[in-house]
C-alpha cells in the first residue's frame, strides 16, 4: 500500500499518510576529511553517546558517512537539513545488523506533534557513497 | 597575534583580515580557487557548499576566529515559509477586511499555496476578489518580519533591493523556487564576514 501511495502523489495526498520524505548521500572521502580535520570536536557535536559505544576513539569514515547521511535524511523528512532546529545527536543511528533510527528529545517531540506513527528508514552504499532515506508515516498506513 | 594563530584576542580586526581568514577556510574546505571566493560569492550557488561543508566551515571558523556561526538558525531562516504571514493571521485579515471566513480545512489547504493562489481560490470559492494592493501589503508585512529576523540572525541589514525583490515574489508565491533562490543569495561570503566582525566587536565591547 505504501508503494502505491509513494508512486502516485495524488493518492498520497488523498490518503495523507506521508508526512515527510528525506534522502541524502555522503561521500566516504568527504567524511574522512571531516574526521581528519576535526576529530573529537566533530564527534562530540554530531553523535549521540550510544552511537560512539563500541566504535573506539574514532569511527571508520564509512560509518561516519552513513550516520551523516542518515541524520540528514531524517531531518530533511522533518522539513529541515542538518542546519535545522535540531541537534544532530537527537537522531541516533545504528547502521549495523538492520539500520535503526531513534529520535530523541525535541526531534521526538516534533514527530509526535505531527502525528508520525512510523518511520520508514534504511541506509545503503554504492561504491564510495553512503546514502539513507526516511519516510515519515502516520496512522498505521505503514506495513 | 597569539602563538596559536588565533585572531580572537586581537583588537581592531578589519573586514579584510576576517575575509582573508574566511577565504582560506573556504578554499581549503570547498576546494575552490582563491579567486572564486569574492565577498559577493554565494556559499551554496557560487561556491557549491553542501550541508556537510557547513559543518566543516563552522568548526574551522570557530577554531580560527573564535566565533560560532549560528548555522542552524540560518538554516531555519532560509526556510521559505517565514516569508509569509501565518495562515491564521491571513485568515483574520480576510475576515475583517473582506468578510471571507475560511474553514480550518481551507486554512490548512491554502497554508502553503502562496498569496496569489490563495486569492484565486477565494475568488473561485467565495466570490470575493482580493485587490493586488492587498496582496502586496500582506507580502510586505510578512517580509518586514523576515527582514527583522535576518537582522537579528546575521547582525546586518537586509539589503533594500533584495527586500523589495522578496516582497514582489512573496505577493505571488513565497514558496516558489525563485523566492528560495533569492533567499539563498543572502548567504554570501560578505554576510558571513560581517557577522564575524559584528560578533568580534561585541566580544571586545563586552
Among the partner residues B55, B56, B76, nearest to A84 by beta-carbon distance: B76
The residue among A63, A75, A73, A71 whose CA lies nearest residue A35 is A63
**Contact B81/A at CB under 8 A:** no
Please report the pLDDT score of residue B176 as a whole number.
87
ipTM field = 0.73
Give the domain ranges of chain A: 19-137
Q: Which residue of B has its CA nearest to A30?
A: B52
Helix A61-77 vs helix B51-65: crossing angle, to nearest 10: 110
Domain(s) labelled CATH 1.10.1200.10 in chain B stretch across 15-78+187-205
pLDDT at A16 over 80: no
Tell me the percentage of chain B whose pLDDT exceeds 70: 90
Question: In angstroms, how far is CA A81 from the centroid of its own chain?
Answer: 10
Mean pLDDT over A35-39 rounds to: 91
Give alpha helix (H) positions in chain B: 15-30, 51-65, 71-77, 87-98, 104-110, 115-126, 132-154, 160-173, 177-184, 189-205
Higher pLDDT, A67 or A54: A67
Summarised one tens digit per residue, pLDDT across range A109-123 is 888 888 898 898 999
CB contact under 8 A, A82 and B79: no
Q: What's the predicted TM-score (pTM) here?
A: 0.76
Summarised one tens digit per residue, pLDDT across range B188-200 is 999 999 999 998 8
Question: Residue B158 has which C-alpha cell?
Answer: 537586509
Collect all residues from A whose CB is shorter than 8 A from any CB in B. 24, 26, 30-31, 33-34, 37-38, 41-42, 45-46, 68, 72, 79-86
Among the partner residues B52, B60, B76, nearest to A85 by beta-carbon distance: B76
Please report the pLDDT score of residue A126 as a whole number.
95
- Label residue B28 exposed, middle or buried (CB < 10 Å: 0-12, 13-18, 19+): middle
- Distance from B104 to chain A by nearest Cα, in Å? 16
| Most B-contacting residue of A39, A73, A82, A83 (CB-CB within 10 A), to test interface | A83
User: Considering chain A, what is the average pLDDT of its residues?
Assistant: 80
CB contact under 8 A, B79 and A46: no
| Most B-contacting residue of A41, A43, A81, A86 (CB-CB within 10 A), to test interface | A81
Question: Residue A100 has which C-alpha cell?
Answer: 535503526
Please report the pLDDT score of residue B12 as a whole number.
56
Summarised one tens digit per residue, pLDDT across range B145-166 is 889 888 888 888 888 999 999 9
Q: Which residues pair with A100 in a beta bridge?
A: A94
* The CATH number of the domain covering residues in B15-78+187-205: 1.10.1200.10
- Distance from A48 to chain B by nearest Cα, in Å? 16
Mean pLDDT over A58-85 rounds to: 84
Summarised one tens digit per residue, pLDDT across range B9-59 is 344 568 889 999 999 999 999 999 999 999 999 998 999 998 888 889 999
Sequence length of chain B is: 206
- Domain covering A19-137: architecture: Alpha-Beta Complex (3.90)
- Chain B hits for A45, Cβ within 8 Å: 55, 59
Longest distance between any two alpha carbons in chain A, whole Å: 49
Summarised one tens digit per residue, pLDDT across range B93-121 is 999 999 999 988 888 888 778 899 999 99
Among the partner residues B56, B71, B76, nearest to A37 by beta-carbon distance: B56
Amino acid at each position: 500500500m505504501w508503494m502505491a501511495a509513494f508512486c502516485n502523489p495524488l493518492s498520497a495526498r488523498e490518503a495523507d499518510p506521508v508526512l515527510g520524505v528525506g534522502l541524502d548521500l555522503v561521500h566516504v572521502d568527504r567524511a574522512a576529511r571531516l574526521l581528519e580535520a576535526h576529530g573529537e570536536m566533530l564527534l562530540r557535536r554530531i553523535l549521540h553517546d550510544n552511537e560512539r559505544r563500541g566504535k573506539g576513539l574514532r569511527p571508520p569514515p564509512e560509518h561516519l558517512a552513513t550516520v551523516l547521511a542518515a541524520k540528514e535524511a531524517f531531518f530533511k523528512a522533518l522539513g529541515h537539513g542538518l542546519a535545522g532546529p535540531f541537534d544532530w545527536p537527537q537522531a541516533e543511528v545504528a547502521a549495523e545488523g538492520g539500520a535503526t533510527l531513534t529520535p530523541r528529545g525535541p526531534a521526538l517531540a516534533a514527530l509526535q506533534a505531527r502525528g508520525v506513527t512510523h518511520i520508514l528508514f534504511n541506509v545503503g552504499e554504492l561504491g564510495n557513497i553512503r546514502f539513507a532515506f526516511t519516510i515519515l508515516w502516520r496512522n498505521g498506513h505503514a506495513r | 597575534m597569539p602563538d596559536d594563530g588565533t585572531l580572537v584576542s586581537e583588537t581592531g580586526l578589519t573586514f579584510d583580515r576576517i575575509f582573508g581568514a574566511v577565504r582560506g577556510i573556504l578554499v581549503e574546505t570547498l576546494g575552490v580557487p582563491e579567486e572564486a571566493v569574492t565577498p559577493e560569492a554565494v556559499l551554496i550557488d557560487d561556491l557549491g557548499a553542501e550541508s556537510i561543508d557547513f559543518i566543516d566551515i563552522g568548526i574551522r571558523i570557530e577554531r580560527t576566529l573564535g566565533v560560532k556561526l549560528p548555522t542552524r538558525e540560518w538554516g531555519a531562516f532560509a526556510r521559505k515559509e517565514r516569508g509569509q504571514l501565518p495562515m491564521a493571521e491571513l485568515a483574520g485579515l480576510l475576515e475583517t477586511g473582506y468578510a471571507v471566513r475560511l474553514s480550518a480545512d481551507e486554512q490548512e489547504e491554502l497554508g502553503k499555496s502562496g498569496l496569489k493562489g490563495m486569492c484565486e481560490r477565494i475568488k473561485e470559492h467565495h466570490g470575493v476578489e482580493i485587490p493586488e494592493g492587498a496582496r502586496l501589503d500582506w507580502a510586505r508585512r510578512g517580509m518586514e518580519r523576515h527582514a527583522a529576523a535576518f537582522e537579528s540572525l546575521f547582525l546586518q541589514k537586509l539589503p533594500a533591493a533584495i527586500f523589495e525583490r522578496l516582497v514582489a515574489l512573496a505577493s505571488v508565491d513565497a514558496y516558489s523556487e525563485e523566492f528560495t533562490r533569492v533567499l539563498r543569495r543572502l548567504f554570501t561570503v560578505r554576510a558571513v564576514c560581517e557577522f564575524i566582525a559584528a560578533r568580534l566587536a561585541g566580544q571586545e565591547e563586552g
